Structure 1
Amino acid sequence: MKPSLNFGTLFGTLLLAAILPGAAQAQHASARAQTHGCHLPGVEDALRCLKLPVPLDPARPGAAHPGQTIQLHVTIAPALREGARPDPLFVLAGGPGEAGSEVLPILNTAMRRVRPTRDIVFIDQRGTGLSGKLECESGLDEDSSLSDDEIDAALVRCIRASKAPFAAYTTANAARDIEQVRRALGYGKINLWGGSYGTRLGQAYARAYPGNVRTLILDAVAAPDQVIPAGGRDSQAALDKLFGQCDADPACRKAYPGLRAEFDGLVAKVGKGLTISLPDPRTARQVDVKMTGARLLGTVHGMLYSPADARRLPFLVHSAAQGRWQPFVARRNLGADSTPEGSSATLLYLAVICAEDMPRFTPALIASDDAPLTRDFARRLPGLCRAMNVPAVALPAPTTIEAPVLLLSGALDPVTAPHRAASAAQYMAHAQLLSAPNVGHGVSQLGCAPRLLRAFLDHPERKVDGSCLNEIPAPTFQLGSAGPQP
């Protein structure tokens, strides 16, 4: 399955404004929302943090009984310059299940041109990160001794053991939480940057609170009518592009002349059940690994998100087809080797997908979208959603977003391909679409993109020249154990 300006006085507020450039524009907010200095993983800078109580059920905002509020974690990276602009940039992470505090390193990549002149606000969406993360036993999906059915059974036990009211964890409620954060921090109009699922959340906020949005930047765009589990055709198109690029590269074609047939052979072999005995890539001890369809195809699908990672796939597929599974298993283990804090909130993911996407994941759509990379997931999801038992959330008819929007897409993206951005733009009055030909899932941190973000935020009425995105090079293929070609 596939993450307190604690000053109570005016003196403290004014002192903060003098010490931290860019905090001055929110002076009036400090008396309303107490924050404190904090350090979080991934960023060396001192930041400001806030714990903001919000209603668990916005239909009952006055509820004060314990358990009827959620403590939202908010991280503020103050602008670096004096006299910063009053409109901050709110960052909405992906997933659903990823937290704002888990993507803080983008301050030094995607946001490096924006931060000098604007506060950047990261919200841990309800049910993620430091906002009451809804998760199961860490590393459950990485236990190579378990079958897919055994993993699902453990997930069902986790779901049933949870006391969380999953129906409260919707995109609409998360959008209301953003508004509570904006009000608590005393900002006027805000800018929104959303990545992947964050683009769905950003669009929901812009439609619910149109008067409070100055601009939106949407990267890896989810269309309003997109059903997240229905990604088979897009993922297959990305895999076909990769195979085609290998075939067009003389060195790759020479190294892996039968790549497509080898991949199809692995899929067939794993489909019949395959247990591999090999030295554990971490410990060198002999272990038995159940290579299931979900493990094989989930790993391939995940690697397609990043072209640099995807171009290792021919080597991994060829090695596995020759009976040498160690490189593939080592790559598979990368997920388990990440820290538990960095893992996505599994139950939050299911709460959103089961309520908002599964009602639209009809048998007809499942049949038309059928493809190997997502087939196992499509098979397993209904049972998990039955255990979640959340009421269906109707898809609202999308209204037109009037604020200027910059939409970024990677042409190699296996989940939010450029046609998704084009579909979303149909409901936007002032949309600019940019596509990067050699990029996968996420553009903002690459090449000239950070400069384009700043240019758009400073002058959203001007046309952004995205031709420089064509200069982001395609990574080289890995042709042997030594790694990618120079």
Structure 2
Amino acid sequence: MRAVPLLALILPLSLAQAQSLKMEPHTFQARDGRSVEAELGTLTVPLRHARPEGPSLPLRFVRFKSTNPSPGAPIVYLAGGPGGSGIDTARHGRFELFLALREVADVIALDQRGTGQSNLHPELAQPWGIPLEQPADEALLTATVKKAAAEASRAWASAGVDLGAYTTEENADDLEMLRKALGAPKLNLWGISYGTHLGLSYVRRHTQRVDHVILAGIEGPDDTWKRPAHAEALLGQWEKVLKAEGARGPGLKSRLAKLLNALKREPRTVEFTDSETGKRQTWRLSHFDLQRTIFESMRDPAIFRRFLTMLPALETGDYSPMVPFASMLREGVLRPMPLAMDAASGVSPARLVLIEREAAKAMLGGSVNPGPLLAGDVLGVSDLGESFRGPLKAAVPVLLISGTLDGRTSPDNAEALRPGLSRATHLVLVGAGHDGLFQSDPRILERMKDFLKGEALRDERMEIKAKP
């Protein structure tokens, strides 16, 4: 599809116009059919906050009005990704949470710039792929993604897309404009994963406008690139979990190492029929393919347990259970907002050295950062620099929520922030993964509500029972 020029969709507006806010009644319907009366808002913001007279874009959000007669500061939900839609999150799995938090204040499901209903160019997407018959490794994946990013950024720039406008700092300043437009003295922030990265940027840039902050699955200012040591430590935790459950014989890490070593010596050929096309396919499954499968599966305990059921077959030389992972491992799509956001956030030189050193020794190597991109790989994107990634100091109330079996955002990320957050409390969910940081136990919501109401919380380790 031919790209629609972005500049044909946006017009230069005055500062007053750029701050315009429109609200209208809205019946919000959840995926399960339930509905609630809410408001649909549109806030027009500058594409570049440093250029308020320049092009602008509309941000869309849904406001769920508080049931409290004396509501606190508005609670703004910051979706993960980057690229997740706050409105879609409210419509799907977290609908109950949005309604429950109305007990404290208005709750806002925001579509950040470039996402959901705040995306002016949803048709723009750049696919990339590595042929199944070609064994993949880290270098090949990185080269493939970099080539796709270069091609996409050139094409999108020609279509009028300002990729440099998609940074976490621009995103944070959108939140400040939203606060002003709502007439709220302060904001409560509620974020997960990338949303915590954004929330921390707002805390740094607009500290005096923060009431309370809930951050779950923490991605700190310099955590965009993941540490191989965290994945290695999580494999060790899983080994202990399985032994406690009665597992016998060689430990998990020993079993995985044996499989990885065999594939490193010789990739395996897997023949299968594509379920969509009906064509026969030949996959040269590599050591790197298995590394990535292990890492991707560790996102959440339920997913990793499904991976564990495959191990006996793999150990007999039957790699057919890996077929469902083939397309995920060998194909992908780049989109403007997440591509630019991550590239701009980048990685500090010191962390990059640490990651490279850890990757050389870790079982999963560089698979924890598949196809990483820097600002120089994406036309029009500038690195946010060490002032963005450096230590953060703020005396605002922060509730940090981490899962001990979260393969995306280690609890260590939260602890690394503690020295600079003098009023932080850490809720550690023992047995929870990345997908269970809010709803794996009803006590989590109670802690969140208490925190937002101003009650003092203490550091806590909460045991989460695995769902059958």
Report TM bin, short chain: 0.7 to 0.9
Pairwise mapping of residues 34-53 of structure 1 onto structure 2 (< 5 A)? 34-37=23-26, 39=28, 42=31, 44-46=34-36, 47-53=38-44
Q: 1:375 aligns with which of 361, 366, 377?
A: 366
CA contact (8 A) 2:79 2:89 kept: yes
- Larger CA deviation: 424-433 vs 294-303: 294-303
- Larger CA deviation: 82-91 vs 109-118: 109-118
Q: Distance in 2 between matches of 1:136 and 1:293?
A: 33
1:172 and 2:162 matched: no
1:228 and 2:224 matched: yes
Determine helix, strand or coil for the equivalent of 1:87: coil
Instruction: Give TM-score scaled by structure 2 length.
Output: 0.80
CA contact (8 A) 2:146 2:377 kept: no
CA contact (8 A) 2:343 2:374 kept: no
1:323 and 2:317 matched: yes
Q: Distance in 1 between matches of 2:115 and 2:206?
A: 23
Determine helix, strand or coil for the equivalent of 1:446: coil
Q: 2:216 aligns with which of 216, 219, 232?
A: 219
CA contact (8 A) 2:71 2:105 kept: yes
Q: 1:314 aligns with which of 303, 308, 322?
A: 308
Deviation sequence 1:347-394 (CA, Å, 0-9, x none):
323322222224536652232231343514657325885244522212
Q: Distance in 2 between matches of 1:332 and 1:450?
A: 37
1:426 and 2:443 matched: no
Pairwise mapping of residues 159-308 of structure 1 onto structure 2 (< 5 A)? 159-163=153-157, 164-224=161-221, 226-250=222-246, 252-253=247-248, 257=250, 259-271=252-264, 272-280=266-274, 286-292=280-286, 295-308=289-302
Instruction: Give TM-score scaled by structure 1 length.
Output: 0.77
Aligned match of 1:390:
381
Aligned match of 2:447:
452
Aligned length, in residue pairs: 430
Q: 2:80 aligns with which of 94, 117, 128?
A: 94
Determine helix, strand or coil for the equivalent of 1:48: strand
CA contact (8 A) 2:68 2:102 kept: no
Determine helix, strand or coil for the equivalent of 1:94: coil
1:350 and 2:339 matched: yes
CA contact (8 A) 1:134 1:345 kept: no
Shift of 1:86: 4.0
Q: Distance in 2 between matches of 1:318 and 1:152?
A: 36
Identity fraction in percent:
25
Shift of 1:276: 1.6
CA contact (8 A) 1:109 1:445 kept: no
Q: Distance in 2 between matches of 1:151 and 1:222?
A: 23
Q: Could you tell me which amino acid in structure 2 is paired with residue 89 of structure 1? A: I
RMSD: 3.4
Pairwise mapping of residues 22-33 of structure 1 onto structure 2 (< 5 A)? 32-33=21-22
Aligned match of 2:49:
58
Structure 2 portions without partners, runs of 5+: 1-19
Q: Distance in 2 between matches of 1:88 and 1:390?
A: 32
